[in-house]
Chain A
């Protein structure tokens, strides 16, 4: 299997789907000659031309809405929002329109649009450019939310997203575009709602998604040195959520810690904890632990930013507290 970076895996997915279906278009700020703010669309303009690789003005509400409308009329748009922070400007279109149209009009029309965006912190870009709000989108029925953590899933989930008949919020981790890994060639689709067991274990379940899979995995390795055998789960999609994988693992281990970069209060980790206590209460040996971002706008200063985000060591501590 060839090795590639996440940005290359995403590009391959887009390219393959564009070759397979003329109705797939890509639009967003600087996706053309510039090749995308994170280099995902490099070379696509040359290959597919300006009718299919469309540079937009800086007007997120407008072009996201246009993507949704195009999807309602037979195109298969991928809309790139440069970063998740700018999706706030388009939330009206995403939530009031994209997520509701299929239901509100009695299933007469579907909205097959993929809205990609880069999320997360760790790049010292400060309070207005460091959000992790995957959980906000997951809160909305009608949306699907994919949160890949590695190159293979980036390709496989994006290809699946592009075959979906519903709006998919596809969230890439800003700090991980340069991550390298093996990626299956050609046709490769990763199902939605199927978590990946990143590490098998029997003593505790550690759950991560998107960028936090890194800390979850690191904790698994550190715990192994202390003879705690952790099972690490990478959710891959938040909606649909692989409840079965979570519950099966927790029933085996009796302990669970959720790791996320997002703010803790009202976060996605709380939803997972609630599901576990509702459906696996009798199997638990300890309360579900949560390791999350500190509840502040992301500070610029490096030592503060480091302190505001979870570490593998904090996850290890949270696991130890369960024993």
Chain B
């Protein structure tokens, strides 16, 4: 039986129909709402490519049933800034050229955003630990580290 679910994404409420309320939030965001800032990497909460914020927390959207996201404020990469008014993290990722293929990048930014909101001036160790669950195969980690540091300074 199809069920209607209201999702609050980037401040806007969208109603979608789902056949299966246990469907991960990722599929609703990517396929129903056409958001491209979060990516499918594993579907197992192991890589962080699908990271979004639910409230203040960085969450793996591939492992959260869409029904459990209902009514909660969801923020995706698209919602934190756009060309012309970038979030300091987005700007810092450009300034540091902190990507190669960019597939992991959105998840890195969202994870770092949650970190900086709870810790305004993290040490390198703290940044590394906070991003330990975000995998990057291209090897962009040192640049990501520099970008998060730069964003923290900009946001101070």
Partners in one complex: no
Interface residues of B (CB under 8 A from A): none
Give A contacts to B, CB under 8 Å: none
